[in-house]
Amino acid sequence: MRRTAEIEEITNLYFIHPVASRFVPLAARLGLTPNTLTIAGMLFGVLAGFAYYRYQDPRFAVAGFVLMIGWHIMDGADGQLARLTRSQSHFGKVLDGISDTATFLAVYTALALALGRKYGDRAYALVIVAGVFHAVQSATYEARRQEYELWGWGRKSAEPTQSAATARGGSRADARTAQASLVDGLFSFLHRLFYDRLSFPAADVTEKVRTSMAAALDRQPENAAFIREQYRRIFAPLVRRWSLLSANYRTLGIFVCVLLAVPEYYFWFEIIGGSVVLALLIASEYDGYRRLLVQLDAANAAFPEGTHAASEGSSRSL
């Protein structure tokens, strides 16, 4: 019921998702839907903003952190529940993205208002700029995950799914199908905006990897599992490093800076430190791409076109 373990962020792997997985069976028995959990998580995030507005009081700082942890748990539980009940939908994905955005928007707005009392308009400008950098860094991180799922495992996360209305039929099926089409269209638009547009810093290396992997898979479709295994060997450690730009570490960074009564430091780190981390991660992607080319060339030499790799998916590597 969990996401791909080899690239999962460590606090998700050993804390957030295990806690969420304990709650999911109860939610299923109570008849709760994944969207209900998403909305509950969004409420936790908004309440965290209200708590952080009074960050000068350590009790409110701790409350804000606990509420954001609650949001993370609900954010993990909604996906697990959707997979358990086979109720994944594009609307759920859109709502999940809205929940994430609403949480950080509430927290950033609250801290901007609080800092505004001290720094005036400069605080608002700082938070807005940090928010833009946040969006680009987060989009690039999520795009890396999706690229890994696609080329490492052949999973297309944005594939349309059959709507419940179509599956059930009935007199209102057409109207429901039309509504589903609108949601699918909205999801496709947001997906292109978030993953294709905002992840532009890594666009060049992304295109290089896509072109190379597509060519290799097209040239040797019978050895697809072996080729994907080589991709995973190289890129799984790299994608794990990208988790430095995940929401989990932002939540921790906000809490530390707020507890020290210097939330402005967090926003400066978002702009400067986050950009340095992003640049280093992209450089590591280029290094991974160069190593991938070597592996693909070796695979092409070892298994000429039409030759099947008997050890597909095994521990063999070139």
pLDDT digits (tens, 9 = 90+) for 209-230: 999 999 999 999 999 999 999 9
User: Which residues, given as ranges, of the chain have pLDDT below 50?
Assistant: 1, 158-170, 311-318
What is the reported pLDDT for 91? 80
Cβ burial, residue 245 (10 Å; 0-12/13-18/19+): buried
Q: Domain residue spans in the chain?
A: 1-119, 130-157+198-318
Q: Determine the pLDDT at residue 254.
A: 98
- Give the integer Cα–Cα distance in Å for 255 and 13: 21
Class of domain 1-119: mainly alpha
pLDDT for the residue 97: 85
- pLDDT, residue 219, reads 92
Task: Determine the Cα–Cα distance for residues 61 and 48; give it in Å rounded to an integer.
Answer: 9
Please tell me the pTM assigned to this model. 0.86
Query: Between vectors from CA 89 to CA 85 and to CA 90, what angle results, nearest 5°?
Result: 160
202-219 burial: b if 16+ Cβ within 10 Å, else e:
beebbebbeebbeebbeb
pLDDT at 235: 98
